[in-house]
Amino acid sequence: MENGSNNFHLIIVAAGKGERAGGPVPKQYAQLGGRTVLRRTIEAFLPLPALASLRVVIAADHHSLYAQATDGLDLPSPIIGGQSRAESVRNGLDALQADANDIVLIHDAARPFIDSDDIRALLSAVGETGAATLGAPVADTLRRDDGHYVDRNGLFAIQTPQAFRLGMLRAALAAQDDLQATDESSIMTAQGVQVTLVPGKRSNFKITTPEDLAMAEALLTARTRFETRSGTGFDVHAFAAEDAEHIRICGLDIPHTRRLDGHSDADVGLHALTDALLGAMALGDIGQHFPPSDPQWKGASSDRFLRHAVDLVQKAGARIVNLDLTLICEAPKIGPHRTAMQAEIARICGLAPHRVSVKATTTERLGFTGRQEGIAAQAIANLELPYDPA
Ligand code: CTP
Ligand code: MG
């Protein structure tokens, strides 16, 4: 534990289902520029020297999502939340080992844009009064659904973190039974406790709807400096000796009398693209990630290799700007399949087809491709990567 008057304990409530936001995972586990919302929220507090302890409250069935989101962070085990936010806060407080005079902050996992200056302002306010919350002035004219307008003058949208002397908060929660209350400052106020309002920033909004997630992504992008990266890939596969009915190129089985030889499905196009992406990230090459000596890749469908490279790009918070692939062969003719190849690569990479180009050329019958001994492919990938001065 640190010394100093501003030390605080932090409980981050992350046990909700995120129903309004929808999406494949609850919003606190949604990716925001390569990191989950929850991780961003946690990392907003970790550098603060006054942070004495941090506990995250999660849903019982989110253990593996939580483990992934906090991978590499040194945190105590999570606390299991309840059916409502209020219950989750209670469970967090029950697990907290601190003195009645200590300051505890309660913060929504769904507010990743909390600003350290606002946390400091909140801490200094709570030091004086024992109860304080952030709130942002309401900017819009307000109307209820019964048609009545509400004067917005002096109105604030209450946010988190909210800060309290632990003893005061415990007493207030013990004395109330409304488990549907959406925050602690309203419970305290209902019991006659004066809660200091600390004006905060509107950027500390609570991600609630799919639109909020999109706004969060946009805000993050606007605050991040990106740099452009390019990577090239080159691959060759020889034709197999025996006759065939199809050849696999760019994820498609194209009618052809010969197929390519290789340990995996020998998809020369996807291999070149995979190497281009790995090259742009400076993360080695396809052989390093999927050694041909490893039996698990025998006959493997190469979309898995490409997808793996795309996952690494996304993990780094990077974005694929475009991919351009040139197939070098006399046969089969690529032209009739070009659009389908573009579409398939775009599908594998989660890109719009206009970001993917597939071209083809012969070598005028010169060299090994000219003699139809094999097919070559070369690719370039352009990425935007968050700028790292290191
Ligand atoms: N929360 C929680 N336990 C609950 C409900 C909510 O810890 N039983 C947390 C959420 O994870 C979120 C914060 O409280 O960080 C604010 O709640 P809200 O925005 O309502 O999130 P959800 O309940 O997850 O979303 P929804 O109401 O749309 O399902
Ligand atoms: Mg909720």
Check pLDDT > 50 for residue 100.
Answer: yes
| Backbone torsion region of residue 284, taken as left when φ is above 0, otherwise alpha when ψ lies between -120 and 50, otherwise beta | left
Q: Which of 11, 85, 88, 111 to mutate to test the pocket of ligand 1 (most atoms within 8 A of CB)?
A: 85
In this predicted model, what pLDDT tens digit does every residue of 19-66 receive, in sequence order? Answer: 999 999 999 999 998 899 999 999 999 999 999 999 999 999 999 999
What number is the average pLDDT over the span 241-251?
97
Spatial distance between the Cα atoms of 348 and 320, rounded to a whole number of angstroms: 13
Spatial distance between the Cα atoms of 321 and 328, rounded to a whole number of angstroms: 24
| Residue 248 per-residue DSSP state | E
Residue 203 phi, psi (nearest 5): -70, -15
What number is the average pLDDT over the span 254-269?
96
Per-position DSSP letters for 277-291, written without gaps between them: HHHHHT---HHHHS-
Question: Which ligand lies nearest the alpha carbon of 14?
Answer: 1
Q: Which of 26, 15, 25, 201 is nearest to 106 (CA)?
A: 15
Check pLDDT > 70 for residue 281.
Answer: yes
Q: What is the mean pLDDT of the chain?
A: 95
Check pLDDT > 60 for residue 234.
Answer: yes
Check pLDDT > 60 for residue 3.
Answer: no
Spatial distance between the Cα atoms of 8 and 84, rounded to a whole number of angstroms: 24
Check pLDDT > 60 for residue 248.
Answer: yes
CB burial string 208-237: b at 16+ within 10 A, e below: eeeebbeebeebbeeeeeeeebebebbbbb
Question: Which ligand lies nearest the alpha carbon of 55?
Answer: 1
Spatial distance between the Cα atoms of 386 and 390, rounded to a whole number of angstroms: 12
pTM above 0.85, yes or no: no
Check pLDDT > 60 for residue 364.
Answer: yes
What tokens does 190 get? 């209902």
Ligand 1 center from residue 1 Cα (angstroms): 30
Question: Rounded to an integer, what is the distance from CA 99 to the centroid of its chain?
Answer: 36
In this predicted model, what pLDDT tens digit does every residue of 128-137 receive, in sequence order? Answer: 999 999 999 9
What tokens does 8 get? 């605080």
Ligand 2 center from residue 16 Cα (angstroms): 6
Ligand 1 center from residue 16 Cα (angstroms): 4
